Amino acid sequence: MKYKTEIDIAINKFVGKKGALIPLLQNAQDIEGYLSKEIMSYVSEKTGIKLAHIYGVATFYTMFRLKPQGKHIIRVCKGTACHVSNANSIMNEVNNHLNLSGKEDTTKDGNFTVMSVACLGCCSLAPVIMVDDNTYGKLTPDSIGKILKKYE
């Protein structure tokens, strides 16, 4: 399996601690960007936690991703403040710029994955997007191209 050593390190870090499954999965996800079936089975095998339980947790929380992700993650805020500040037009422009139809969320070259989130806590700057760890606010559809260029 790819990344076996890294996953082992993550497992060892949490083994025997109470309530460790979620941080363990967060750690495992950081390694490859998503939770593959293989990784979940491996975690189950190593920790003795039932695969059904792991899968149940992974599907319950939106933070866990079960599909491969683009190199950069674009989070478009669709919280209340952004919604009333025309977040839809920002989402349209992001999809438009990346030639995504809105049905698929990852660009063909695997560079970007687009997702909508429920609030980034920067509502004063609505509408807001976050690319990887950087937040951009007071956006208009025209500002999108320039921002995404930095990551292309």
Partner 1 sequence: MSLVIKVGLASCGLAAGAGEVYDAIQKHIKKNKIDAELKKTACIGMCFVEPLVEIYEEEKKSITYGDVTPENVGDIIDAFSKGKPIEENVIISNILKGSENKTFKKQKRIVLRNCGIIDPISINDYLEKDGYSALEKSIKNMSREEIIDEIKNSGLRGRGGAGFPTGLKWQFAYNAQNDKKYIVCNADEGDPGAFMDRSVLEGDPHSVIEGMIIGAYAIGADEGYIYCRAEYPLAIKHLNIAIEQATKKGYIGNKIFGTDFNFELHIKEGAGAFVCGEETALMASIEGKRGMPTIRPPFPAQSGLWGKPTNINNVETFANIAWIILNGAKEYAKYGTEKSKGTKVFALAGKIKNSGLIEVPMGMSLRDVIYDVGGGMKTERPFKGVQLGGPSGGCLPAELLDTIVDYDSINKTGAIMGSGGMVVMDTSSCMVDIAKFFLNFTQNESCGKCTFCRVGTKRMLEILTRISEGNGKMEDLDTLEELSENIKKGSLCGLGQTAPNPVLTTLKYFREEYIAHIKDKKCPAGVCTALIKYEIIEDKCIGCTVCAMKCPVNCISGERKQVHKIDQNVCIKCGACYDACKFDAIKKG
| Contacts to partner 1 by CB under 8 A | 18-23, 26, 56-57, 60-64, 78-81, 83-85, 88-89, 92-93, 95-96, 117-126, 128, 133-138, 141
What is the number of helices (H) and of strands (E) in the chain? 7, 4
Q: Taking CB under 6 A as the rule, does residue 130 contact ligand FES?
A: no
Minimum CB distance to partner 1, residue 38 (Å): 21
Torsion sign, CA atoms 45, 48, 50, 54:
negative
Q: 25 vs 120, which CB is nearer to ligand FES? A: 120
| Residue in 43, 126, 129, 144 binding ligand FES, rule: CB under 6 A | 126
The residue type of 91 is M
CA dihedral 79, 95, 71, 14 (to 10 degrees): 30
* 12's tokens: 């060892």
The residue type of 43 is V
Q: 16 vs 121, which CB is nearer to ligand FES? A: 121
Residues contributing to the site for ligand FES (CB under 6 A): 77, 79-82, 119-123, 126, 128
